[in-house]
Amino acid sequence: MRIQVRCACSRVALLLLTATCAQTFAAPAADQLMPAATVGFVSIPDAAELRDRFDQTQVGLMLRDPTMRPFADQIRAGIEKQLGAAPERVGVALDDIVAAAGGEASIGLVKLAADQASVLATIDCTGKQIERQAMLARVDQRLRARGARAATQTVGAAHVTTYTLPPTEKRPREAQILIATAGDLVLAADDAAGMRGLLARAAGGGDASLSTSEAYRAAMRRLKTEDQGIAANLRWFIVPSEYDIASRSLQEKLALPDKKDLLTILREQGFDGIRGVAGFVHVAVDPGRDFIHRTTIYAPAQPGARSDHARDKYRLAMQIAELPNRNDLSIQPWAPRMAAKYSTFSLDIPNAFDKVEPLYNALAGYDDAYRTTLDGFEKDPFGAQVNLREQLVRHLGSRVTFVTDYKQPIVPDCERYLIVIETKNPSALAAPINRLMEKDNAVRKSLAGVEYWEVLPEQQSQTSTNYDGSLLPLEDDFAQEPQEERVLRRAAVCLHGADLLVASDAEFLAQVLEGVARRESLAEGYDFQAAVSELDRVAPAARSAWAFVRTEEIVRPTYELIRANRMPEAETFLGRLMNKMLTTEQDLERGVIRKQRIDGASLPSFEVARRYFGPSARAIRTDKDGWLVTGVVLSKAAG
């Protein structure tokens, strides 16, 4: 009886489709087919062209190199995990789309309710009828192999096949996938209502489409203006405040932790002010540039805003996003030539300090967390007794620079960092910083005639030495005292000129204190000059931030740890990201270290692999209604 009722419901749904689909279909733009409630959208205007262009890039060459297959598979597995259940929900794989598309192809994530979402896909198969039939045959074979029952009906000018999938251990109810052919279009949906909407909009009717969404239109208009009419090879759009909820609703239901996740907290703390994020990607632009990408973050002011300052036009913690454009963010002469990444940005630090309170409280889980922490620094009789706002933060400038590097040999915690913060009144900072460091059990040392504080892991602090190697005596009673949890686990901190410096270790700090010869500076690096020159061409306006990345050096630690079969232990940023992408949700919740999936011994040396990773640069510009990120990735083959 239950099966008969479901079949009857399916027939009724298909009859409803017929009422809106009684005419011949052309091939409208994908954003006119997707509904206005779409919260995630990816469009490939010409799939065949994108495939051909991608194959010309260094990444494309790497993916086709048999010796690099294990590494490429590791990356691909992480990307597929991030895509989640979307492709499976409509039965059409990415390879199917690329093979059969003669025009635009797209996939969209649609939010239906608080905990419900659907997936839609569109493929314009103009000129690819043989490939279309082969794709449909593969989809049919895969779905039937999963136990699906198929029923096909003619609906107006379209042919719709409904696949009903049986329940599984993780999905206790039947599921449906609908595949329709309408003229040159192939449409896919994971529910009848979604397919009904696709067919109606394809026929020129139906409800509002994504192309009418204010956030989508504003974001696309900005990107088209910046691209000066050049067609992108890939376009995407998401509504951040809704996308994560919708995408999680597609996943198998897991036992979630009691506390809120970070994205929920950010949404509640004002970051839902970001109405949409969209991007254009240009692939294999010329022999020297593999990718040019632009991302616009659309965040218009809330009604009644008094000014264009973040503290006025946004609410709650999003008011920290005061990132003024500056014309004086040029490379600093002390930056070492062999740095893996150099990034610098402007930030109104006092404003951020004042406006971060609600976010801090939300992350801590109680209302007075921020004020309690500040009072602890200022009023604890055994603490530093420093008013962080008045004695420290108000004397800081608005430029912050990060430099990342990796020490040899490569081990899980080989990542090094250097943070340089400009100050407005360095002499006023000396006393409060000294008190903070003393109470953090740091040790005062000297390097190049400059006093600095070194914070070492507790097991090392009992036998600390000066940077030159001489033993530094520690008092016995200090060594025996129990130590409180430190603000910094390992660092070297000092004031130097007009800057506050925080480094991961004294050796990295020395590169700023002792300086570097001009020929050893990052500014003199050929790859740096090439990448920044290209960035200036594609993003010539004033900036609030920019960065240069030696992709090969960012990838090297992860690659070497995979070769050593130690990837799951990686503590580098990229390593942690890859581990999170490759670890199951259950193991993430339990804090279990995953097992490495491949034998690292099968990979060639990094000297073979490094030729596939060219330098890149990107810039951020603050606009009245959000931000624009522009980046370029160069090809090593051209050099």
Distance separating alpha carbons of residues 522 and 530, to the nearest angstrom: 12
What 3 state SS string does 478-534 have?
Answer: HHHCCCCCCCCCCEEEEEECCEEEEECCHHHHHHHHCCCCHHHEHHHCHHHHHHHHH
Distance separating alpha carbons of residues 503 and 405, to the nearest angstrom: 11
Higher pLDDT, 9 or 513: 513
Higher pLDDT, 390 or 86: 390
pLDDT band at 499 (very low <50, low <70, confident <90, very high): very high
Distance separating alpha carbons of residues 324 and 185, to the nearest angstrom: 46
Q: Is the pLDDT of residue 17 over 60?
A: no
Residues 24-49, mean pLDDT to the nearest whole number: 89
Q: Is the pLDDT of residue 263 over 70?
A: yes
Name 332's bridge partners.
none
Q: Is the pLDDT of residue 480 over 80?
A: no
Distance separating alpha carbons of residues 614 and 291, to the nearest angstrom: 10
Distance separating alpha carbons of residues 190 and 117, to the nearest angstrom: 10
- Looking at residue 486, what is its pLDDT? 45
- Looking at residue 257, what is its pLDDT? 47
pLDDT band at 586 (very low <50, low <70, confident <90, very high): low
Higher pLDDT, 360 or 263: 360
Residues 292-313, mean pLDDT to the nearest whole number: 93
* Highest mean pLDDT, choosing among 95-104, 457-466, 583-592: 95-104
- Looking at residue 172, what is its pLDDT? 83
- Looking at residue 32, what is its pLDDT? 97
- What is the per-residue pLDDT across 50-97, written as a single tens digit (0 to 9) for each? 989 999 999 888 888 888 887 777 666 655 555 555 566 788 887 888
Global pTM reads 0.85
Distance separating alpha carbons of residues 196 and 259, to the nearest angstrom: 38
pLDDT band at 22 (very low <50, low <70, confident <90, very high): very low
- Looking at residue 255, what is its pLDDT? 42
Distance separating alpha carbons of residues 617 and 170, to the nearest angstrom: 44
- The string of DSSP codes covering 73-114 is HHHHHHHHHHHTTHHHHHT--HHHHHHH-SS-EEEEEEEEET
* 325, two tokens: 């454009």
Please give the mean pLDDT across all residues of the chain: 83
Burial letters for 52-73: b for 16+ Cβ neighbours within 10 Å, e otherwise? ebbeebbbbbbbebeebbbbbe
- What is the per-residue pLDDT across 355-378, written as a single tens digit (0 to 9) for each? 999 999 999 999 999 999 999 999
Residue 270 amino acid letter? G
- Looking at residue 239, what is its pLDDT? 96
pLDDT band at 14 (very low <50, low <70, confident <90, very high): very low
- Looking at residue 599, what is its pLDDT? 65
SS3 630: strand
- Closest listed residue to residue 43, CA positions, set 231, 205, 169, 201: 231
The count of residues in the chain is: 639
Residue 634 amino acid letter? L
pLDDT band at 271 (very low <50, low <70, confident <90, very high): very high
* 457, two tokens: 């892991």
Q: Is the pLDDT of residue 228 over 90?
A: no
- What is the per-residue pLDDT across 519-539, written as a single tens digit (0 to 9) for each? 999 999 999 999 999 999 999
- What is the per-residue pLDDT across 410-445, written as a single tens digit (0 to 9) for each? 667 778 899 999 999 999 999 999 999 999 889 999
- Closest listed residue to residue 77, CA positions, set 592, 551, 580: 580
Distance separating alpha carbons of residues 136 and 138, to the nearest angstrom: 5
- What is the per-residue pLDDT across 114-173, written as a single tens digit (0 to 9) for each? 778 899 999 999 999 999 999 999 999 999 999 999 999 988 889 999 999 998 887 788
pLDDT band at 261 (very low <50, low <70, confident <90, very high): confident
Question: Running DSSP on this structure, what letter comes out for residue 190?
Answer: S
pLDDT more than 70, % of the chain:
81
Question: Running DSSP on this structure, what letter comes out for residue 465?
Answer: B
- Looking at residue 481, what is its pLDDT? 41
Question: Running DSSP on this structure, what letter comes out for residue 625?
Answer: T
Domains of the chain: which residue ranges?
2-57+89-210, 213-310+525-639, 329-348+365-517
557 contacts 542 by C-beta, under 8 angstroms? no
Q: Is the pLDDT of residue 467 over 50?
A: no
- Closest listed residue to residue 176, CA positions, set 111, 118, 114, 123: 118
Q: What does the CA dihedral 137, 141, 142, 148 come to, rounded to 10 degrees?
A: 120
- Looking at residue 185, what is its pLDDT? 94
